[in-house]
């Protein structure tokens, strides 16, 4: 994935129970493209991943939500898993951070159950999105147009279904961030 995202800051909002591949693999792709990724979480220290059916690796939290300003980032990524987005959507500070970020118009990536937080933030009405199949009805009830494809792009939103879609999700995210940079330079 050749792209130069040097100088771009990407917030990855997560907590315990994030699907490990859905945080680690897009993060690696973004870092390799030159971006600086930061894991933002409601709590300090480490958060624990979920790897398919068991607990996975710990990931260092770079910044707590209390110390993070959504306007300082060029994109935000919302990894899935079931536990992670379910916890995040119930935290008013997370929902406020995501709502403020969406208002910037910058790229928002969400995979698997990650769109739950976007639903809670009131950001999906009229948007074409994809997700893990069990989130389909939630998205539709919130006013989104749900599609079954590896990546759905609608304006600033880049959504994906599952770990198998991560390469396409990562490419679309990198392309969106790079296009944002080109628009800003024009």
- Considering only CA atoms, which of 29, 28, 34, 46 is closest in space to residue 9? 34
Q: Which residues are catalytic?
A: 112-113
φ and ψ of 97, to 5 deg: -60, -50
Question: Would you say 78 and 22 are in contact if contact means Cβ atoms under 8 Å apart?
Answer: no
Strands 128-129 and 145-146: parallel
What is the CB-side half-sphere exposure of residue 166 using CA atoms within 13 A? 18
- Considering only CA atoms, which of 15, 25, 31 is closest in space to residue 114? 15
- Considering only CA atoms, which of 92, 84, 65, 70 is closest in space to residue 23? 84
Alpha-helical segments (H) within 37-165? 83-88, 92-104, 115-120, 136-141
Helix, strand or coil, per DSSP, at residue 20: helix
């Amino acid at each position: 994935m050749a792209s130069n995202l040097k100088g771009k800051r990407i917030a990855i909002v997560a907590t315990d129970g994030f699907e490990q591949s859905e945080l680690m693999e897009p993060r690696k792709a973004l870092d390799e493209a030159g971006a600086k990724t930061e894991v933002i979480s409601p709590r300090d220290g480490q958060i624990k991943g979920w790897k398919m059916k068991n607990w996975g690796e710990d990931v260092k939290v770079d910044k707590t939500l209390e110390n993070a300003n959504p306007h300082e980032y060029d994109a935000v990524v919302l990894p899935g898993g079931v536990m992670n987005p379910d916890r995040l959507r119930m935290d008013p500070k997370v929902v406020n951070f995501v709502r403020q970020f969406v208002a910037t118009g910058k790229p928002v990536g969400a995979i698997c159950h990650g769109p739950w937080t976007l639903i809670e933030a009131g950001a999906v009405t009229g948007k074409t999105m994809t997700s893990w199949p069990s989130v389909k009805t939630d998205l539709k009830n919130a006013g989104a147009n749900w599609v079954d494809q590896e990546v759905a792009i609608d304006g600033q939103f880049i959504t994906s279904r599952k770990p198998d879609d991560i390469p396409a999700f990562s490419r679309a995210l990198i392309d969106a961030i790079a296009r944002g940079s080109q628009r800003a330079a024009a």
